[in-house]
Structure 1
Amino acid sequence: MPLYDYVYSTMDKSSDQLYETSLRGAEETPGLVHLTHMTDLQSVYHLRIGFASVASRPSATGAMWWYMWVLWPVAWLSMALAWAYGSSAFVVERIKLGKLRMQTWAVPRYNFQYGLSWERESINGLIERAILDADARGVKVLSLGLLNQAKQLNGGGELFRHRYPKLRVRLVDGSGLATAVVLRSIPRDAKQVLLHAGPSKVACATAAALCERGVQNRSS
């Protein structure tokens, strides 16, 4: 038994290293990374480090309301620790669909912190490190989720595109994904398209992509 091996000094010195290596497993490079962040204090319980019974139910349901309030001090403590010591994004989940490998990373910051002007530089630093990490790993696409793509924060990722023009990873935000959905719904043999939308980032990107296809755009 390991206890007796330790007492009588018969334990293999490489056992600890072998155990840690087996826990890490083979490092896989995902093709797509979605970079999100924490929302409210109770959102920590919906992560892997939380409780499966809580994560399996919608947030703030009546049956779990009292339970969440009892655990509120723990949630507050986890927020304080993440604020003080959270220096990089962490993996929330890994998804594998056939040959496609995806991961969700979370920035250790909460919704209310994105509204603090003095936190913007720190949050942008966390996002920047996540982007550079993904680029170094060979990730093909990184999508900025929730407030990580806020215009007042980094202009939907434009700050990092200008700062690192040679990035290999492709940065996309919600508008880019919406544009892709719209373009996919338009038949490839269409010659004219009527865009019934106001001046928005999605509309402009859609119109530009259609022009590249040689499709005539009209707006109403």
Structure 2
Amino acid sequence: MPIYDYIYGTVDKNSNTLYENSVKRNEESPNVVHLTHLTTPESIYHLRLGFAYLASKPYSSVWYLWLLWPVTLWFMVLTKIYRRTFVVERNRFDQIRLQTWAIPTYRVQYCLKRQKESINNMIEEAVLEAEEKGASALSLGLMNQASFSASSHNQYGEVYVKKHPQLKVKLVDGSSLAVAVLLNSIPKGTTQ
């Protein structure tokens, strides 16, 4: 609740009831999940969880974020300890429920060989969680598809499909998504 509503006495009497009812409501399971990652320590402020002003603009480093370095360092320690995906945003378009999940790793960690197993385990847990929640598709963010060569990380999600052949959730990377869009844009009956 906005603090200014309390200060100026403009609080709606039904706000507390509405809040309590929304908290009691069961969490909606997503139809589609996009699995992304953090890029730099300051990128947390560009999420919806951070500052709306920064989230509405393309990512760029700004001088006043240096003032928040104590908070940034605290968040880095928290992500190092927590090591689980978290929901960044939830969207609903008609009957389709979309969620964006983030893996608490930074871009530089994908380049470190000692992080490979840890990152792959987090991605695998996210795939299995999406499966458990009934998602029909999970798209892998750029660094979650593979690192700098197909053999170095998870081979664009193929590792998880081979390891769990019973998966119902479809793993989608950017290249297969582009092919699907291209194929669906070709008019039916086209032969050449």
The answer to whether the superposition gives a TM-score over 0.5 is yes
Q: Quick check: which has more Rg, 1 or 2?
A: 1
- Bin the TM-score by the shorter chain: 0.7 to 0.9
Distance verdict in 2 for CA 1:51–1:85, change over 3 Å: same
Aligned to 1:77: 74
In the TM superposition, residue 22 of structure 1 has moved relative to its aligned partner by: 4.5
Aligned to 1:217: none
Deviation per CA, 1:181-204: give whole Å up to 9, x if none. Answer: 111221211112xxxxxxxxxxxx
Give matches, 1:12-31, under 5 Å.
22-23=22-23, 25-31=25-31
Deviation per CA, 1:70-124: give whole Å up to 9, x if none. Answer: 11332233122202222x2111111101111111011111101111100010011
Alpha-carbon distance in structure 1 between the residues aligned to 2:181 and 2:134: 25
Deviation per CA, 1:124-178: give whole Å up to 9, x if none. Answer: 1100111111111111001111200013210000100100011011111011111
Question: Any stretches of 5+ residues in structure 2 without a counterpart?
Answer: 1-18
Asked if 1:147 is matched to 2:143, the reply is yes
> TM-score, length-normalised on structure 1?
0.72
Alpha-carbon distance in structure 1 between the residues aligned to 2:153 and 2:115: 10
Asked if 1:127 is matched to 2:123, the reply is yes
CA contact (8 A) 2:49 2:88 kept: no
Runs of 4+ in 1 over 3 A off after TM superposition: 19-22
Give matches, 1:78-97, under 5 Å.
78-86=75-83, 88-97=84-93
Alpha-carbon distance in structure 2 between the residues aligned to 1:108 and 1:21: 31
Aligned to 2:45: 45
In the alignment, residue 131 of structure 1 is paired with which amino acid? V
In the alignment, residue 87 of structure 2 is paired with which amino acid? V
Percent identical: 51
Distance verdict in 2 for CA 1:47–1:23, change over 3 Å: farther
Aligned to 1:198: none
Alpha-carbon distance in structure 1 between the residues aligned to 2:51 and 2:187: 45
Question: Any stretches of 5+ residues in structure 1 without a counterpart?
Answer: 1-18, 193-220
Secondary structure of the residue aligned to 2:153 is helix
Determine which of 46, 63, 66 is the counterpart of 1:66. Answer: 63
> TM-score, length-normalised on structure 2?
0.82
Aligned to 1:54: 54
Distance verdict in 2 for CA 1:135–1:71, change over 3 Å: same
Aligned to 1:114: 110
Task: Say what the alpha-carbon RMSD is for the aligned residues.
Answer: 1.8
Alpha-carbon distance in structure 1 between the residues aligned to 2:119 and 2:20: 31
Secondary structure of the residue aligned to 1:156 is helix
